Amino acid sequence: MNESDGAAAESGRARAAATDRLLARVIREESARIVAALTGWLGSLDLAEESVAEAIEEAVRQWRTAGVPPNPGGWLTQAARHNALDRLRREKRYREKLALLADPAEAAPRAGTNEPDERLPLLFGCCHPALSPDAQLALTLRAICGLTTAQIARATLAPESTVAQRIVRAKRKIGAAGIPLRIPEGSERAARLGVVLTVVSVMYSEAHLVAGADAAADRDLADDALWLARVIAHELPREAEAQGLLALLLFHRAREGARAVDGELVLLADQDRARWDRRLIAEAQAVLETAAMLRRPGRWQLHAAIAACHSDARDGGDTDWLQVLTLYDMLLAYDRSPIVRLNRTVALAEVDGPEAALDEVDALRPALTGYHLWHAVRARMLRHVGRRDEAMAEDLRALELTANDAERRLLEARVDR
């Protein structure tokens, strides 16, 4: 391939990527509202979601070449309604339902009204604790964010048939087990919102964990997660943790440009902070302040506060580690997971020295011995206390355990040094 072919291919790719982004933006704005409206009309989430998913696949195919029509929501609603009626006519078990349906015009999402957002009840149903975490994520990606099954499979590196089966089973369970599509009230609200926010956070990290892949997916799950965090925070303005998660994802998103440079990972301490997106950081700080004013602290707000400390520092050396460690100690009251404790050891090493941190890292061995970053953190502590050979062995072990290409190259560079 000569140089100009290369450039042409490059610009072709750039155009396609822009179109993928545009499709993602347009479709996820519409998907959940149409699924919710159709579910109300048909009385079946399974049928409604299937009909919308089919319409979205058709839209992705057509719009990728022909462009997005002027009223994409109307286009999708009409196509989904058509698909639903088609299915009802074909399938015996649905046929008697057909006569009972109201005017299909009823099955249009209400846009621009002051009605409470119908997407949130659907989201709480998709993230019901009676569904497995994998199913919660897959169903949320499809029904709420409007990803096709193939896009979910590529973005999460799961076989397409597995994803499809997960979604079908989850939808059938919602119908058969009577899982309500409703925002829980009262004492149930906090725990259920916790599940929803966890799904969004997993969605964000999934974008970075895709093993072996270098961004082959045509949907950026991190962008979808940030969008969804915004929807939730906007619809539930009194829920401090919803604001907390949005702030956290904004802080992370702001570092994105410095975190990966030319496809290579850069650790937080080494990142060029001039590449951080100051506009996103300012937004994150504002959202975190809003959360704090609600006076209901929680794990996502603390995670965000830790991220804020890093954003405040001019460079790695300027970080207020005592503040970071204090926040981690507060976080332990909400989240004692081994990963949080491991991340805390990095702050502990800065405040109390590497020996104290190494003891804590070693205490986590049983829980994290299969996790590559435990070995990477332990290597770093060992190097600080001068146990270089052991540090090298841990780096090699980390390398063996990582499945992500970019992380592998980062660790290789460390072993080579």
Partner 1 sequence: MKYVIMFTTTPELDAAVSPEHAEQVYRRTYDWFGTNRAVLTAAGAQLQPVTTATTVTHGGDAPVVADGPFSEAKEVIGGFQVIDVPDLDAAIAIVKTWPLLELPGVSVEIRPIVVD
* 320-358 b/e (C-beta count within 10 Å ≥ 16 → b): ebebbbbbbeebeebeeeeebbbbbbbbbbbeeebeebb
Where would I find the H helices in 67-187?
72-90, 92-100, 119-126, 133-139, 149-156, 160-176
Find all residues with CB under 8 Å of 272, minimum gap 6, and list them.
258, 261, 266
Q: How far is the CB of 166 from partner 1 (least distance, A)?
A: 19
The residue from 25, 182, 234, 278 that contacts partner 1 (CB under 8 A) is 182
Q: Which is nearer to partner 1, 125 or 297 (CB)?
A: 125
* By the rule CB under 8 A, 40 interacts with partner 1: no
Q: Which of 86, 188, 355, 400 binds partner 1 (CB under 8 A)?
A: 188
The piece of 147-155, 177-185, 285-293, 345-353 that touches partner 1 (CB under 8 A) is: 177-185
Q: Given phi > 0 = left and psi -120 to 50 = alpha, else beta, which region is 295?
A: left
Q: Give the closest residue to 39 by CA, choosing from 166, 162, 139.
A: 139
Closer of 163 and 174 to partner 1 (Cβ): 174
- Total of residues contacting partner 1 (CB under 8 A): 10
Determine if 100 is a binding residue for partner 1 (CB under 8 A): no
Nearer to partner 1, 184 or 316 (CB): 184
Near partner 1 by CB under 8 A: residue from 43, 67, 133, 180 = 180
Q: Does 176 bind partner 1 (CB under 8 A)?
A: yes
Q: Which is nearer to partner 1, 110 or 182 (CB)?
A: 182
- At position 212, the amino acid (one-letter code) is G
Candidates 152-160, 175-183, 307-315, 383-391; binding stretch for partner 1 (CB under 8 A): 175-183
Cβ atoms 388, 242 nearer than 8 A: no
By beta-carbon proximity to partner 1, the closer residue of 188 and 329 is 188
To 5 degrees, how large is the angle CA 221–CA 226–CA 230? 145
The least CB distance from residue 52 to partner 1, in Å, is 23
DSSP output for 159-228: -HHHHHHHHHHHHHHHHHTT---S---TTHHHHHHHHHHHHHHHHHHHHHH-TT-SS--SS-HHHHHHHH
- Between 12 and 180, whose beta carbon lies closer to partner 1? 180
Binding test (CB under 8 A) with partner 1, winner from 18, 130, 190, 413: 130
Write down the residue that tokens 């970080």 correspond to. 319
Tokens read off for 105:
């015009």
- Choose the stretch contacting partner 1; rule: CB under 8 A; options: 178-186, 198-206, 295-303, 346-354: 178-186
CB 381, min distance to partner 1, A: 37
Contact between 415 and partner 1 per CB under 8 A: no
Pick 172 or 365: Cβ nearer partner 1: 172
The stretch among 73-81, 179-187, 195-203, 232-240 that binds partner 1 (CB under 8 A) is 179-187
CA angle 128, 190, 139 (to 5 degrees): 25
Helix/strand/coil (H/E/C) assignment for every residue in 287-331:
HHHHHHHCCCCCHHHHHHHHHHHHHHCCCHHHCCHHHHHHHHHHH
CB of 130 to partner 1, least distance (A): 6
Cβ proximity to partner 1: between 69 and 184 the closer is: 184
Could you say whether residue 177 binds partner 1 (CB under 8 A)? yes
Closest contact distance (angstroms) between CB of 188 and partner 1 is 7
Ramachandran angles phi, psi of 253, nearest 5°:
-60, -35
Q: How far is the CB of 96 from partner 1 (least distance, A)?
A: 13
| Nearest distance from C-beta of residue 229 to partner 1, angstroms | 24
What separation, in Å, do the N-terminal and C-terminal C-alpha atoms of the chain show? 35
- Asked if 128 is part of the footprint of partner 1 (rule: CB under 8 A), the reply reads yes
Please state the closest distance from residue 359 (CB atom) to partner 1, in A: 32
Residue 80 Cα to chain centre, angstroms: 26
Per CB under 8 A, 191 contacts partner 1: no
Query: Residue 192 Cβ, how far from partner 1 at the closest point, in Å?
Result: 9
The tokens for 379 are: 């290597």
For the record, the structure tokens of 77 come out as 């609603």
Residues 218-277 that bind partner 1 (CB under 8 A): none
- At closest approach, how far in Å is the CB of 177 from partner 1? 5
Nearest alpha-carbon partner for 31 in 8, 14, 56, 13: 56
For partner 1, the binding residues (CB under 8 A) are 128, 130, 176-180, 182, 184, 188
